[in-house]
Amino acid sequence: PPPYTGVWMGDSKLCAIGVHCGNHITSHGLALNCCTDLTWFEHIVPCGLEGKGVTSLSRELGQHITVSTVLEPFLHSFQEVFDCTLLCSEDPG
């Protein structure tokens, strides 16, 4: 919910989105909770937001959702939304 960043399901964050700027370098990323062990979030205040929870695709859909299940449709949607072509290399080095 505004003004909070990320993807939300009610008062629970499903996906964190972040940007960091430092030493003339900008980095960005996201963390989509697919099948995350959510009990770890009971020990912290996630993203510094009091009274807000964290959820996962597995919890919301009531079935085990793995990263490998989500990766291809996520990348396809990313290309559509940002009107770009993603290149993939078998050798990350």
Catalytic residue among 21, 47, 84, 88: 47
Distance CA 40, CA 76 (A): 30
CA dihedral sign, ordered 84, 85, 88, 93: negative
CB contact set of 67 (below 8 Å; sequence gap of 6+) = 34, 35
Active-site annotation holds for 47: yes
As annotated, the active-site residues are 47
